Structure 1
């Protein structure tokens, strides 16, 4: 038998580190190739790490809640050729190892402060070995030059005192009062602060937020705090598009093996509009605007838990309708089965939220940071509309839908936002009904 190392896997091009949630295989326990050894979380999605070969796990190099860079060894194991018989380690041995690990951890804590390496090859000393810092908190701290010693002084409102994004953002907004040894720092009297109101929240059943819901809450608060939101509305006549889809959806599935929902048609129309208005496909980096090279359309999707996630159709402008439909169906199926991977939810440059799925007429979506805008599509509903014909005005039953665009007014003005939204509506209204499937 030979000894090898298990490395923190790469879970997407933009993912540089992961947080170990829990180990599923104990030290000394045997496993087969493909068995799930541990669960790892990133700031986008949770992942299961399979065994690259059959063997016996020798040692966990990191405890749960540890943030580890991609490519770093997280465990050692002995490689075993062929099929092995799995044996659960004896309780006494597990207890002994646990005690030894605890003793080593205590000794390490008193003799040397642990160091966490960041994406920028710098190191911060953690004053308390039990302190847990998520990748998102670390990223914000780096942007604002907040050290780990200073982070340890910030009160956390998360589970077990965990520091959340809203805690850190409020701390920074308050002027970082614990930045120096002096307990009091002079705050800006003109700065806005959230009033500390003693509100009666009422009584009832307490439901604790799960990890993903907390991340969503932090992301939404951060987006509203960062981007001045403006929302524009148009309505589109989708009568011709609806008729074409109804007439061709059965044949489309028989020919291509894919369901033809409205989502691929919306993605296609949006991708064409983004190509015409590239300054919508941007993000802000300080005083710079990054115009993205790719048009990757995210689609807000509900998970079985009720939480939302945004799988991404990559290079949507370069795909035909069949390819878009195939990708939309694949991502939707993975979301329903809770099997989306890191690459499936990264890299979006513009997001669509189909609030019409839930029967909503329209919505005012919150921007998916760091994007510049987000589109909400309402329910398609039959309405009596006045139609201008050469022979005179008539009242007809038409398939109408409201579209709403929330955009970041720092970088998108009303003219650009309104023109882009109108182009999407035009793409949907002027759909080619002679189009072949």
Structure 2
């Protein structure tokens, strides 16, 4: 008896997702709770585990398909049961494709047929024959496809001096996936750089040198939210600079003892988060939001920490940061950072932020104007620490300086409040004892 694989509950207000990648193929054996595929939602990537052990007998939704909560993704047959042929993915307009696969003495052969209005049968037959030989283990070249390799596969191809032509793709419309590259390398695929056809300059054949990749749901959501913030909020940015020497000296003095006691490294984010929560208490408008004709003041500080991942920018939230110590903040940021890197963030990790901190300095940014994370009214931009000459006590000295940027919604935050907020953050960082004494 087959066990159905269905789309799980995706979280509050999320009703659909896009299939990012299948990790198993029809005919593969699976263990209970083994990850079968990834679902990409507007906010996070969710792994779907196998509901039972057995053999993946059917895939009903292919990579790139949009599916709703509860939709059927595939089926798992009990161990020893036969497997059904995979259903063909929807083909481009004007063409139909069908694929079937069977194992003969351990050698898998696949044939594909396609028909297009008017012509192409001979070319299609040749392509099918070549694909059959490649799947069966023929060392001959694989014809290049229109669909570019997946980003992770493209990186692995480049690292190993391979071209997509040398790898048989298992993804939708023959897309080369990371697992396909791994399989090719394990078979000893040539590591010599593939010869690429030269295109004459000014030939007008730019399209042949372009790559078209569909935006992930996360990237689409990021684009929409950022543009909505620009369209709705009256955004303005104010700048200041902070002398990081006091914080750096304090960190250098206590970092080893701090890590030994708390089991986490002492970074800069703990100081910045604590400085922000202190300033928010004094300037509550920066921690508020507009709801229709009302202003909602938040008597708590849920601080979003922007994290760049290979799939886009995510903003996990440190909840009640105003009630936490620097050590507790560092531990929570560490946990959220690992979860973001591994694609393990839950919906609860991403919701409810009241203010955001974005650290472009880790990428070398010297100054920027961050965009609000709506419906929040403020976001603090951190930047690169750079030694610069400054005047201190009537003398020119060299100090490790950082530019700070506060973008805010001018509909709710006045200029005086924004400048005061940024000055309070600066004061706390240049005199970190204030953070301990709550001054």
Q: TM-score range by the shorter chain?
A: 0.5 to 0.7
Corresponding residue for 1:304?
A: 310
Q: Which whole-Å CA distance do the structure 2 matches of 1:343 and 1:353 have between them?
A: 20
Which of 281, 287, 290 is equivalent to 1:281? 287
Task: Give 3-state SS (helix, strand or coil) of 2:373's partner.
Answer: coil
Residue correspondence of structure 1 range 393-408 to structure 2 within 5 A: 393-408=394-409
TM-score, normalising length from structure 2?
Answer: 0.62
Matched, 1:208 2:185: no
CA shift, 1:411, in A, is: 1.7
Residue correspondence of structure 1 range 237-276 to structure 2 within 5 A: 237-276=243-282
1:295–1:88 distance in 2 versus 1, CA, 3 Å: farther
Contact 2:26/2:59 (<8 A) preserved? yes
1:33–1:272 distance in 2 versus 1, CA, 3 Å: farther
Corresponding residue for 2:68?
A: 68
Contact 2:56/2:76 (<8 A) preserved? yes
Contact 1:58/1:75 (<8 A) preserved? no
CA shift, 1:226, in A, is: 1.7
Task: Give 3-state SS (helix, strand or coil) of 2:433's partner.
Answer: coil
Structure 1 residues 88-114: Cα deviation after superposition (integer angstroms, max 9, x where no partner): 7243xx45xx69x99xxxxxxxxxxxx
Q: Which whole-Å CA distance do the structure 2 matches of 1:58 and 1:416 have between them?
A: 62
Corresponding residue for 2:225?
A: 219
In the alignment of these two chains, the number of paired residues is 320
CA shift, 1:7, in A, is: 6.1
Corresponding residue for 2:417?
A: 416
Corresponding residue for 2:15?
A: 17
RMSD: 3.7
Structure 1 residues 144-191: Cα deviation after superposition (integer angstroms, max 9, x where no partner): xxxxxxxxxxxxxxx9xxxxxxxxxxxxxxxxxxxxxxxxxxxxxxxx
Q: Which whole-Å CA distance do the structure 2 matches of 1:434 and 1:15 have between them?
A: 38
Residue correspondence of structure 1 range 53-202 to structure 2 within 5 A: 53-54=52-53, 65-69=65-69, 72=70, 74=72, 84=79, 89-91=83-85, 94=86
TM-score, normalising length from structure 1?
Answer: 0.62
Q: Which whole-Å CA distance do the structure 2 matches of 1:7 and 1:292 have between them?
A: 39
Matched, 1:377 2:365: no
Which of 352, 361, 378 is equivalent to 2:357? 352
CA shift, 1:381, in A, is: 2.3
CA shift, 1:288, in A, is: 2.5
Contact 2:35/2:50 (<8 A) preserved? yes
Task: Give 3-state SS (helix, strand or coil) of 1:252's partner.
Answer: helix
